[in-house]
Amino acid sequence: MHMHKLERLWLMIGSGALIVFLLVIGVNAFAMGHTPPSDSNILDPTQVDLTAPFDDPGLKKIGDNEYELVLVAQAFTFQSNDELKIPEGATVHFKVTSKDVVHGFQIPKTNVNMMITPGHVNTITHTFDEAGQFLILCNEYCGVGHQAMGVPLEVIK
């Protein structure tokens, strides 16, 4: 099919830019381990309270300044048996599921953002380099109290 030579040039440049974008995110995702949260673990969404580790949600120290934070999302809060306080520089593995409807899990100012679908576990890891107040919030509509669904997370010196 005939194409103006400048259009052909433009499409080459444009597609070239798209390929660069794909390579950048592809390498970052697969070679540097930053694929988006895609946990494949499943559980019975009606038996969350009886299923480990969600039968005892909370903060567990698993290494040198490394923690696992297990949370149960439910309308309209994130359930934990421990206070959400972690030391500066800590790496936290968030492990979350939902007891009822679909929820979101997001911490503003970080890349922590994932969907929590009932029956599925989702996980994401973040290192908190600086002390301060953080907020875990639900970013998927889950009912009339959705806007109240947020809990503070404190990173202390």
Q: According to CB under 8 A, which residues from 33 to 92 bind other proteins?
A: 34-46, 75
Report the Cα 73 to chain-centroid distance in Å: 13
Q: Among residues 72, 84, 86, 114, which is the contact residue for other proteins, using CB under 8 A?
A: 114
Question: H or E element: which one contains 128?
Answer: none
Q: Should residue 119 be labelled a site residue for other proteins when binding is judged by CB under 8 A?
A: yes
Tell me how far, at minimum, the Cβ of 7 lies from other proteins, in Å. 5
Asked if the bond preceding 45 is cis, omega within 30° of 0, the reply is no
Q: With CB under 8 A as the contact rule, which of the stretches 52-60, 62-70, 82-90, 134-142 interacts with other proteins?
A: 134-142
Q: Among residues 56, 85, 141, 154, which is the contact residue for other proteins, using CB under 8 A?
A: 141
Q: Should residue 27 be labelled a site residue for other proteins when binding is judged by CB under 8 A?
A: no
* Residue type (1 letter), 20: V
Q: Among residues 15, 27, 61, 156, which is the contact residue for other proteins, using CB under 8 A?
A: 15
Q: By three-state DSSP, how is residue 127 classified?
A: strand
| 53 burial level (CB within 10 Å; 0-12, 13-18, 19+) | middle
**Cβ-contact 29, 36 below 8 angstroms:** yes
Which residue's CB is nearer to other proteins, number 65 or number 115?
Answer: 115
